[in-house]
């Protein structure tokens, strides 16, 4: 029997305010295997891994490690149990050396209780050699390394704790082909010694190269586990998708004239984006996390100073240097992160609603603010969008997520943009508010507004869009037209979004 | 139906604020009330010393330049920034004007113009380096603090006196029973109170202080506003420097020294927050008055000079703690 179970997850659930992130999930990890975990954005992969590494506490369910039930208290406890995690977001300190980073908090000490630098560097170099990372010196500052090499240091840091179970969360997102091979070698070394690897990746092709088994999560629910040898990409995608959202009586409002045209737009995380957006048309930019969708939108909105390429608004080439220019050209942007980028949380609802349009709330030549005009306008939008609040003088922080999102929508409606970019417009809000936001977007399109939507929810993108542009790894990999009810399916999109149809 | 359900859900976490909480949260009200109470108390305790024309006049004259500085500082604090160099700009401006008048025998108006130009220029450098180059405001403030003080030393050495009468008249005349610097304070406060409260331009600073990223994505040119904020702060410091030099009838190299921290303290007492998004010009004035009042009362009560600093420190801690207490209760 080489299929000894090392980690068993039974009926684990986790609820966040408004969402059930995990619903009675089961998972079994065998000793010495590479176990891939896949699912769309928001399927619950990261939540599950955060429970295993002690960052979140589970609401219900049990976790068994080598047959014994464990209650993982915190990150340190997880480490002492032999579970190490490498996060998507780097946890390294740029101004410290590779050695200091790998052995952070565990540096060898000399007799005086000071850090034994010599020993530390020797240990690190020995360790790097074992990992076949010869061409790196333990004394190099992490900030001077390439992103790929930093990722390797991150993995080395996790491995230095001699884990039985190593969790890799999107390890190849920032690294190149050659380094993927180094990474895979490290993974194989670990499993040969009896360790197990939980491998989360959006790149399905990698999974077929490195993993022994693959488990699928969807909407926080466990969909099943397959032996990689006995399955194929289509079957996995089939398991990942399939949420139903009525595509009832699709109606297009697209006109002939092109509102926005982007030619060869490139930035740090995306390149050569070229597409058109017509008046009244809704186009969705879809792709998995990190595909470069938000970056593309930010570049169009002038919020990325390093972007290059050409942008045409109603056929005229424009030079958008900052968001002020973009708004001046009739472009609006509803940002992805409501609280960080969209709202003035400690300010009133009316102050938020008017924030994109202060100049239109004046009463004389001195640009004095007309408070009554602001309140009236805010009340109008409060009624139109059914923002649930007793008064628009209330602070936004007191509203629910759905109502907060409506406040931001109201703000952009007030600006009357000809082109509106909406980035994850329904993220983290309740079903009722979602439907209302869909209706608002459709209504805007019917009035001729061109809408570029970024959505991680494929059913949403399918239901609303005239066209869908798929991105993978910073590039456009596909464009699908949904208006004439051609059979565009989630499966087709997922293939493009996983870079498989290249 | 859906909507009414949502409202019902919302009610659970929109706590109604009690009357007392509302008052405690309004710093202008609480501070105004405390000032009135301290004044009444002092008037009863020292009826022949405190509530007399001479004393009140000295008190107001003493805070006049700080109050002008506080206006600029308050606007920066509203946006989440601060300017440590204002005290040195006060010193440098007065020193340049004095040097031109006394040693250069230049017309006093030209001397004032050159002094103010220097102040504006210092503000431009601060603003440019902080907004466009991205230098930390704290570090830039410290650097310009040193540069300004060095300039003050350079231009006045140990001190310059005997200015033209026309120049000293600016800060030493009396109008309707009040010394002119008090009038300058009143005008500055009144003007900026209206501008900050009513105009689109200054309203933007509240948005920037509330959420800088969201402000930029709302089409507010944050960098430009930042630059202008520091220019305004330095300009007001320059005006304060001229007034102070004229009032004293002398320029010395320590003019304005330490006022930056005093003024920041006054603004925080007056309702500003280091995080930004909060504060009013009236609050800045009340904070400054309060600090002047405490100093005044302690002198009258013959409390040692050293104690003044200690008491102010304690009051600052109390005020800020009260703030977070009231806030936590609401959360």
**Confidence bin at A161 (pLDDT 50/70/90):** confident
At which residue do the structure tokens 């977007």 appear? A441
Residues A408 and A490 grouped into a single domain: no
Kindly give the pairing relationship between strand A5-16 and strand A316-318: unpaired
Residues A305 and A319 grouped into a single domain: yes
What is the percent of chain B with per-residue pLDDT over 70, rounded to a whole number? Answer: 93
3 state SS of A265: strand
Angstroms from A323 CA to nearest CA on chain B = 5
3 state SS of A256: coil
**Confidence bin at A407 (pLDDT 50/70/90):** very high
Q: Over chain B, what is the mean pLDDT?
A: 90
Kindly give the pairing relationship between strand A419-423 and strand A331-334: parallel
Q: Does A355 reach chain B within 8 Å, measured CB to CB?
A: yes
pLDDT in tens, A284-337: 998 877 788 889 999 999 988 888 999 999 999 999 999 999 999 999 999 988
pLDDT at B331 over 70: no
Query: If we measure between CA atoms, which residue out of B238, B247, B226 comes closest to residue B81?
Result: B226
Q: Within 10 A of A446 (CB to CB), how many other CB atoms are there?
A: 12
What kind and span of H or E run contains A443?
helix A431-446
Angstroms from B197 CA to nearest CA on chain A = 8
Q: How confident is the model at residue A323, as a pLDDT?
A: 93
Q: Sign of the CA dihedral A268, A270, A275, A276? A: negative
**Confidence bin at A339 (pLDDT 50/70/90):** confident
- Residues of chain B with Cβ-Cβ distance to A356 below 8 Å are 218-219
Q: Does A340 reach chain B within 8 Å, measured CB to CB?
A: yes
Angstroms from B9 CA to nearest CA on chain A = 9
Angstroms from A170 CA to nearest CA on chain B = 28
What is the ipTM metric for this complex?
0.85
A346, B210: Cβ pair inside 8 Å? yes
Calpha distance A115→B247 (Å, rounded): 60
Distances (CA, A) of A481 to A250, A314, A464, B155: 12, 22, 12, 74
pLDDT in tens, B160-177: 988 999 999 999 999 999
For B205, the closest chain A residue by CA position comes to: A355
Q: Does A403 reach chain B within 8 Å, measured CB to CB?
A: yes
Residues A65 and A192 grouped into a single domain: yes
- Mutating which of B2, B132, B202, B218 best tests the A interface, going by the most A Cβ atoms within 10 A? B218
pLDDT at B328 over 70: no
Angstroms from A433 CA to nearest CA on chain B = 9
Mean pLDDT of A110-120: 87
Q: How confident is the model at residue B10, as a pLDDT?
A: 41
Phi, psi of B69 (to 5 degrees): -65, -35
Query: What is the maximal distance between C-alpha atoms in chain B?
Result: 81
pLDDT in tens, A461-490: 888 888 999 998 888 888 888 765 556 777
**Confidence bin at B16 (pLDDT 50/70/90):** low
Angstroms from B267 CA to nearest CA on chain A = 19
Residue A45 lies in a domain: yes
For B221, the closest chain A residue by CA position comes to: A324
Phi, psi of A331 (to 5 degrees): -105, 130
Q: How confident is the model at residue A155, as a pLDDT?
A: 87
The last residue of a domain, from among A416, A435, A462: A416
Residue A193 lies in a domain: yes
Residue A484 lies in a domain: yes
Residues A177 and A255 grouped into a single domain: no
What is B191-236 written as a DSSP string? HHHHHHHHBHHHHHHHHHHH-HHHHHHTT--HHHHHHHHHHHHHHH
Q: How many domains are contained in chain A? A: 3
Q: Does A364 reach chain B within 8 Å, measured CB to CB?
A: no
Mean pLDDT of A401-418: 91
Mean pLDDT of A244-273: 80
Q: How confident is the model at residue A1, as a pLDDT?
A: 37
B6, A389: Cβ pair inside 8 Å? no
Mean pLDDT of A178-199: 88
Q: A462 near A490, Cβ under 8 Å?
A: yes
Lowest mean pLDDT segment, chosen from A104-108, A468-472, B9-13? B9-13
Residues A360 and A469 grouped into a single domain: no
Q: Which two tokens stand for residue B312?
A: 């102010």
pLDDT in tens, A70-88: 999 888 899 889 999 887 6
- Residues of chain B with Cβ-Cβ distance to A323 below 8 Å are 216-219
Calpha distance A387→A410 (Å, rounded): 9
Q: Does A369 reach chain B within 8 Å, measured CB to CB?
A: yes
pTM summary value: 0.81
Chain centre distance of CA B9: 43
Q: How confident is the model at residue A17, as a pLDDT?
A: 66
In the DSSP assignment, the letter for residue A466 is S
3 state SS of A45: helix
Query: If we measure between CA atoms, which residue out of A51, A347, A427 comes closest to residue B276?
Result: A347
Q: Which two tokens stand for residue B133?
A: 């180059």
Kindly give the pairing relationship between strand A331-334 and strand A221-227: unpaired
- Residues of chain B with Cβ-Cβ distance to A358 below 8 Å are 200, 203-204
The last residue of a domain, from among A211, A240, A269: A240
Q: Where are the beta strands (DSSP E) in A211-305?
A: 213-218, 221-227, 258-266, 273-278, 282-286
Calpha distance B239→B64 (Å, rounded): 11
Calpha distance B266→B34 (Å, rounded): 14
Taking any CB pair shorter than 8 Å as contact, residues of chain B touching chain A are 2-3, 6-7, 9-10, 13-14, 198-201, 203-204, 206-207, 210-211, 213-221, 277-278
Size of interface A-B (CB pairs under 8 A): 94
For A356, the closest chain B residue by CA position comes to: B218
Q: How confident is the model at residue A498, as a pLDDT?
A: 80
- Residues of chain B with Cβ-Cβ distance to A322 below 8 Å are 216, 221
For A325, the closest chain B residue by CA position comes to: B219
We find that the CATH architecture of domain B33-330 is Orthogonal Bundle (1.10)
* CATH number for the domain harbouring residue A152: 3.40.50.300
Q: Does A373 reach chain B within 8 Å, measured CB to CB?
A: no
Distances (CA, A) of A428 to A42, A245, A424, B169, B208: 10, 17, 9, 65, 26
B13, A398: Cβ pair inside 8 Å? yes
Residues A176 and A121 grouped into a single domain: yes
- Residues of chain A with Cβ-Cβ distance to B198 below 8 Å are 368-369
3 state SS of B159: coil
Long-range pairs of B104-109 with CB within 8 A, sequence gap ≥ 24? B108/B163, B108/B164, B108/B166, B108/B167
Distances (CA, A) of B23 to A397, B32, B297, B326: 20, 11, 26, 10
Q: Sign of the CA dihedral A219, A224, A229, A233? A: negative
Residues A317 and A259 grouped into a single domain: yes
Residue A34 lies in a domain: yes
Residues A287 and A363 grouped into a single domain: no
Q: How confident is the model at residue A172, as a pLDDT?
A: 77
Q: How confident is the model at residue A243, as a pLDDT?
A: 54
- Give me the residue spans of the domains in chain B: 33-330
For A395, the closest chain B residue by CA position comes to: B14
Domain span including residue A368: 337-416
**Cβ-based burial of A89 (10 A; exposed 0-12, middle 13-18, buried ≥19):** exposed
Mean pLDDT of A490-495: 81
- Find which of A122-136, A181-195, B40-54, B304-318 is predicted with most confidence, using mean pLDDT: B40-54
pLDDT in tens, A19-30: 678 999 999 999
Residues A312 and A395 grouped into a single domain: no
Q: Does A419 reach chain B within 8 Å, measured CB to CB?
A: no
What is B250-293 written as a DSSP string? EE-TTTTTTHHHHHHHHHHHTT--TTSS---HHHHHHHHHHHHH
For B330, the closest chain A residue by CA position comes to: A398
pLDDT in tens, A89-103: 677 888 899 999 988
For B211, the closest chain A residue by CA position comes to: A344
Which candidate from A343, A362, A390 shows the least CB-CB separation from B214?
Answer: A343
Q: Under 8 Å CB-to-CB from B17, ≥6 apart: which residues?
A: B25, B330
B10, A388: Cβ pair inside 8 Å? yes
pLDDT in tens, A389-402: 889 999 998 888 88
B214, A342: Cβ pair inside 8 Å? yes
Residue A495 lies in a domain: yes
- Mutating which of A346, A386, A393, A407 best tests the B interface, going by the most B Cβ atoms within 10 A? A346
A341, B10: Cβ pair inside 8 Å? no
Q: How confident is the model at residue A380, as a pLDDT?
A: 93
A403, B221: Cβ pair inside 8 Å? no
Residue A394 lies in a domain: yes
pLDDT at B63 over 90: yes
Residue A376 lies in a domain: yes
**Confidence bin at A281 (pLDDT 50/70/90):** very high
B219, A327: Cβ pair inside 8 Å? yes
pLDDT at A45 over 90: no
Distances (CA, A) of B126 to A275, B84, B115, B231, B287: 43, 10, 17, 8, 25
- Residues of chain B with Cβ-Cβ distance to A394 below 8 Å are 14
Which candidate from A324, A327, A366 shows the least CB-CB separation from B199?
Answer: A366
pLDDT in tens, B182-202: 999 999 999 999 999 999 999
Q: Under 8 Å CB-to-CB from A177, ≥6 apart: which residues?
A: none
Q: How confident is the model at residue B1, as a pLDDT?
A: 37
First to last CA, chain A: 40
B200, A367: Cβ pair inside 8 Å? yes
What kind and span of H or E run contains A26?
strand A19-30
Q: How confident is the model at residue B190, as a pLDDT?
A: 97
What is A177-208 written as a DSSP string? HHHHHHHHHHHHHHHHTT-EEEEE-S-HHHHH
**Confidence bin at A353 (pLDDT 50/70/90):** very high
Calpha distance A314→A311 (Å, rounded): 10
pLDDT in tens, B22-39: 777 788 999 999 999 999
Residues A197 and A280 grouped into a single domain: no
pLDDT in tens, B235-272: 999 999 999 999 999 999 999 999 999 999 999 999 99
Residues A11 and A140 grouped into a single domain: yes
B14, A390: Cβ pair inside 8 Å? yes
Residues A423 and A406 grouped into a single domain: no
Calpha distance A218→A211 (Å, rounded): 19
What kind and span of H or E run contains A331?
strand A331-334
Q: Which two tokens stand for residue B222?
A: 């944050």
Residue A433 lies in a domain: no
């Amino acid at each position: 029997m080489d299929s000894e179970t090392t980690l068993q997850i039974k009926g684990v659930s986790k609820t966040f305010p408004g969402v059930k992130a995990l619903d009675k999930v089961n998972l079994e990890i065998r000793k010495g295997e590479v176990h891939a975990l896949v699912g769309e954005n928001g399927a619950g992969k990261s939540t599950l891994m955060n429970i295993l590494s002690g960052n979140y506490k589970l609401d219900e369910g049990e976790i068994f490690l080598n047959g014994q039930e464990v209650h993982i208290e915190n990150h340190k406890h997880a480490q002492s149990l032999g579970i190490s995690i490498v996060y998507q977001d780097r946890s390294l300190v740029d101004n410290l050396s590779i050695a200091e980073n790998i052995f952070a908090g565990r540096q060898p000490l000399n007799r005086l209780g000071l850090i034994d630098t010599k020993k530390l560097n020797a240990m690190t170099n020995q360790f790097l050699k074992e990992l076949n990372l010869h061409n790196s010196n333990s004394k190099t500052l992490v900030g001077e390394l390439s992103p790929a090499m930093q990722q390797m240091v991150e993995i080395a840091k996790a491995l230095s704790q001699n884990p039985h179970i190593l969790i890799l969360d999107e390890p190849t997102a920032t690294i190149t082909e050659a380094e993927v091979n180094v990474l895979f070698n490290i993974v194989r070394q670990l499993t040969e010694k009896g360790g197990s690897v939980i491998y989360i990746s959006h790149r399905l092709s990698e999974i077929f190269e490195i993993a022994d088994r693959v488990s699928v999560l969807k909407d926080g629910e466990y969909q099943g586990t397959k032996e990689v040898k006995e399955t194929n990409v289509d079957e996995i995608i089939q398991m990942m998708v399939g949420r139903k959202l009525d595509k009832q009586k699709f109606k297009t409002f697209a006109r002939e004239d092109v509102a926005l045209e982007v030619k060869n737009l490139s930035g740090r995380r995306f390149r050569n984006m070229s597409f058109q957006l017509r008046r009244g048309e809704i186009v969705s930019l879809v792709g998995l996390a990190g595909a470069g969708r938000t970056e593309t939108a930010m570049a169009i909105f002038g919020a990325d100073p390093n972007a290059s390429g050409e942008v045409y608004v109603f056929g005229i080439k424009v030079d958008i240097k900052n968001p002020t220019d973009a708004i001046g050209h009739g472009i609006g942007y509803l940002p992805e992160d409501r609280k960080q980028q969209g709202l003035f949380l400690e300010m009133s609802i009316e102050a938020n609603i008017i924030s994109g349009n202060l100049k239109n709330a004046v009463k004389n030549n001195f640009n004095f603010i007309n408070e009554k005009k602001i309140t009236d306008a805010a009340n109008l939008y409060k009624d139109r969008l059914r923002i649930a609040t007793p008064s628009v003088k209330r602070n936004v922080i007191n509203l629910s997520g759905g109502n907060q999102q409506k406040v931001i929508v109201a703000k952009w409606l007030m600006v009357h943009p000809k082109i509106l970019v909406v980035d994850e417009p329904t993220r983290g809000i309740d079903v009722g508010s979602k439907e209302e936001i869909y209706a608002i977007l459709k209504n805007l399109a019917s009035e001729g507004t061109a809408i570029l939507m970024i959505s991680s929810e494929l059913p949403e993108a399918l239901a609303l869009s005239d066209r869908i542009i798929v991105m993978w790894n910073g590039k456009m990999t596909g464009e699908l037209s949904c208006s004439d009810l051609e059979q565009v399916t989630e499966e087709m999109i997922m293939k493009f979004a996983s870079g498989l149809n290249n | 139906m859906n909507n009414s359900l949502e409202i019902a859900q919302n009610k659970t976490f929109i706590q109604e604020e009690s009357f007392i909480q509302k008052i405690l949260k309004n710093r202008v009200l609480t501070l105004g009330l405390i000032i009135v109470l301290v004044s009444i108390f002092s008037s009863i305790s020292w009826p022949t010393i405190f509530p007399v024309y001479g004393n009140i006049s000295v008190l107001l004259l003493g805070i006049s330049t700080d109050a002008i500085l506080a206006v600029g500082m308050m606007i920066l604090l509203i946006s989440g920034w601060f300017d440590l160099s204002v005290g040195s700009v006060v010193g440098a401006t007065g020193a340049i004007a004095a040097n031109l008048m006394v040693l250069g025998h230049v017309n006093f108006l030209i001397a004032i113009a050159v002094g103010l130009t220097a102040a504006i220029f210092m503000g431009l450098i601060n603003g440019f380096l902080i907004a466009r180059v991205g230098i930390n405001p704290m570090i830039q403030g410290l650097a310009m603090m040193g540069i300004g003080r060095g300039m003050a030393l350079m231009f006045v050495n140990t001190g310059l006196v005997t200015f033209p009468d026309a120049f000293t008249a600016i800060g030493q005349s009396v109008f309707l029973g009040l010394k002119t610097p008090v009038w300058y304070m009143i005008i500055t406060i009144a003007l900026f109170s209206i501008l900050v409260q009513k105009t689109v331009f200054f309203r933007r600073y509240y948005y920037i202080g509330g959420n800088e990223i969201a402000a930029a994505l709302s089409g507010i040119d944050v960098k430009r506003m930042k630059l202008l904020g520091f220019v305004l702060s330095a300009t007001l410091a320059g005006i304060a420097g001229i007034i102070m030099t004229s009032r004293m009838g002398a320029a010395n190299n320590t003019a304005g020294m330490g006022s930056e921290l005093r003024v920041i303290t006054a603004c925080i007492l007056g309702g500003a927050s280091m995080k930004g998004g909060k504060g009013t010009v009236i609050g800045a004035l009340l904070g400054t008055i309060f600090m002047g009042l405490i100093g005044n009362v302690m002198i009258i009560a013959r409390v040692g000079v050293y104690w003044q600093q200690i008491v102010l420190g304690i009051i600052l801690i109390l005020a800020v703690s009260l703030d977070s207490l009231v806030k936590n209760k609401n959360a």
